[in-house]
Amino acid sequence: MRILLTAFGPFGSHTYNPTEHVARLVGQRWNRPEQFVVEILPVEYEAARQRVIGLGPFDVHLGLGLAADRDVPTLERFAMNRQDAPTPDNAGHVALGNSIDESAPLAFETTLPFRRLIESANATGYQLKESRTAGLYVCNTVLFCGIQTSKRAGFLHLPPAEAFSVEEGAKLVELLLVATLEEPC
């Protein structure tokens, strides 16, 4: 069993991205038998897409990203086959509504046990909410490619560090991964 946990570093006006620290902490602490890979992806549409495809299929891929305008963690339900955001990526590219993959459908739904994860997190005292859009920036691209590449894939947006500590983020990610592994495919 192979697990991929991805996250991002700084981008745009965000000089600190808690998700890279959360992902590293979860990777350091993982003590279960599954092979666990942590990858910090470039905040660039094309390079991130290539990296996810290049890492190849995993049994579970959970992507993490910062949602600076949200105050609780959100689990993404859908990935859109679009790239469209005013903020340039870290390569300076501004996306204007192109498809990620012209041969793919307009949207995919997460292949993680979505409702079960939200219920498990909330039963443990987290406020984890459903989100129906990951935006159309780089996180959405990673979720889209993750669903195309790995057996089960999903995406968790975390609020900024003022609202949520790295430790809390790591505990939530661990809970979501363990709950996914316990759910039959």
Binding site for ligand PCA (CB under 6 A): 8, 11, 17, 19, 43, 65-67, 135, 137-139
CB of 117 to ligand PCA, least distance (A): 19
Q: Please give the residue whose beta carbon sits closest to ligand PCA in the complex.
A: 139
Q: What is the nearest approach in angstroms of ligand PCA to the Cβ of residue 24? A: 14
Smallest gap from residue 17 Cβ to ligand PCA (A): 5
Of 41 and 179, which has the nearer Cβ to ligand PCA? 41
CA distances, 69 to each of 40, 72, 94, 183 (Å): 21, 9, 20, 31
- 129: exposed, middle or buried (Cβ count in 10 Å: 0-12, 13-18, 19+): middle
Closer residue to ligand PCA (CB): 116 or 129: 129
Specify the residue, 19 or 120, whose C-beta has the smaller distance to ligand PCA. 19
Residue 28: exposed, middle, or buried by beta-carbon count in 10 A (0-12, 13-18, 19+)? exposed
Tokens encoding 155 = 């995406």
Minimum CB distance to ligand PCA, residue 182 (Å): 27
Angle between helices 166-182 and 18-29 (to 10 degrees): 60
Query: Which residue, 78 or 120, is less far from ligand PCA as judged by CB?
Result: 78
- Compare residues 80 and 121 and give the one whose CB is closer to ligand PCA: 80
Q: In the complex with ligand PCA, which residue's Cβ is closer, 22 or 120?
A: 22
Spatial separation of the C-alpha atoms in residues 126 and 120, rounded to whole Å: 9
Cα(35)–Cα(2) distance, integer angstroms: 5
CB of 33 to ligand PCA, least distance (A): 29
Helix/strand/coil for 99: coil
DSSP state letters, 117-131: HHHHHHHTT---EEE
